[in-house]
């Protein structure tokens, strides 16, 4: 692979020199890491993986960027950083100034749209999504990828997967968090958890 790249680069240099082209500035392509917070600007060229105890202000400070830029580059985190997702990557640098955006909205609000594709019946209160991978099962999603939710919650929020998760589809997005304004589930005694 490296030999092929070097061969193509060598041929490119020979062609540009023969054509009299000079001062070709190389451009760097930054590949976005996985998993990625939704809604990041296309111009992003630097990323940070969200860790325990991170918040929008601490991330902006660590990378010497303004909080306004952070919110502009990562509109899905919400205007008060309420949907910053642990383990996901956020943008902390962009190649050019992004145009001012409208104030960020919570992706779980009626004005926000769920990513596609999704299965029918997913809760409308969803604020965080996970794209299933080929080796995923419902159990692996709730135990390894999103351990803060239970299997019951996952199945309730995503009824399209079926009662025994027989219809989980790779490449589809599933709800893994709902708006905190939703009532908490009742425990076995009829009291709120």
CATH number, domain containing residue 35 = 3.10.350.10
Q: What is the pLDDT of residue 107?
A: 35
Q: What is the pLDDT of residue 7?
A: 43
- 9 inside domain: no
The token pair at 116 is 């596609």
- 121 inside domain: yes
100 & 163 share domain: no
Of residues 99 and 118, more confidence is placed in 118
Alpha-helical segments (H) within the chain: 2-18, 56-62, 67-73, 138-140, 151-157
Q: Is the pLDDT of residue 95 over 70?
A: yes
Q: What is the pLDDT of residue 20?
A: 52
Q: What is the pLDDT of residue 17?
A: 56
88 & 118 share domain: no
The answer to whether the CB of 128 falls within 8 A of the CB of 175 is yes
100-151 pLDDT, tens per residue?
444 333 333 333 577 888 888 998 888 898 888 888 899 999 998 888 899 9
Count other C-beta atoms under 10 Å from residue 118's C-beta: 18
Q: What is the pLDDT of residue 119?
A: 86
* Chain-centroid distance, C-alpha 93: 16
Q: What is the pLDDT of residue 5?
A: 46
φ, ψ of residue 106 to 5 degrees: the values are -70, 130
φ, ψ of residue 22 to 5 degrees: the values are -130, 165
129 & 149 share domain: yes
Q: Is the pLDDT of residue 191 over 90?
A: no
178 & 146 share domain: yes
- 2 inside domain: no
Total domains in the chain come to 2
Q: Give the closest residue to 112 by CA, choosing from 97, 129, 91, 88.
A: 129
Looking at 74, 104, 134, the residue that finishes a domain is 104
| Parent domain of 139 | 110-193
30 & 100 share domain: yes
Looking at 58, 80, 104, the residue that finishes a domain is 104
Peptide bond preceding 117: is omega within 30 degrees of 0, i.e. cis? yes
Task: Tell me how far apart the alpha carbons of residues 123 and 127 are, in angstroms, rounded to a whole number.
Answer: 10
Of residues 90 and 192, more confidence is placed in 90
* Chain-centroid distance, C-alpha 128: 9
97 & 115 share domain: no
- 1 inside domain: no
Partners of 41 in the β-ladder: none
The answer to whether the CB of 111 falls within 8 A of the CB of 139 is no
Task: For tokens 């955006």, name the residue.
Answer: 101
167 & 182 share domain: yes
9-65 pLDDT, tens per residue?
444 545 445 555 454 444 455 677 888 888 888 888 999 999 999 999 999 999 999
């Amino acid at each position: 692979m490296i030999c092929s790249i070097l061969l193509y680069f060598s041929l490119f240099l020979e062609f540009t020199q023969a054509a009299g082209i000079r001062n070709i500035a190389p451009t760097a392509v930054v590949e976005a890491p996985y998993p990625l917070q939704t809604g990041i600007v296309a111009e992003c060229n630097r990323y940070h993986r969200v860790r325990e105890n991170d918040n929008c202000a601490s991330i902006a400070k660590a990378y010497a960027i303004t909080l306004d830029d952070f919110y502009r580059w990562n509109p899905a985190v919400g205007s008060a950083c309420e949907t910053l997702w642990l383990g996901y990557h956020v943008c902390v640098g962009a190649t050019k100034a992004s145009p001012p955006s409208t104030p960020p909205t919570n992706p779980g609000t009626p004005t926000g749209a769920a990513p596609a594709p999704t299965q029918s019946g997913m809760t409308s209160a969803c604020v965080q999504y996970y794209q299933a991978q080929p080796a995923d099962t419902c159990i692996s999603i709730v135990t390894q990828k999103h351990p803060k939710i239970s299997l019951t919650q996952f199945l309730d929020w995503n009824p399209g997967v079926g009662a025994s998760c027989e219809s989980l589809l790779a490449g589809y997005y599933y709800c893994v968090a709902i708006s905190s304004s939703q009532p908490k589930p009742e425990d076995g005694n009829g009291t709120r958890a």
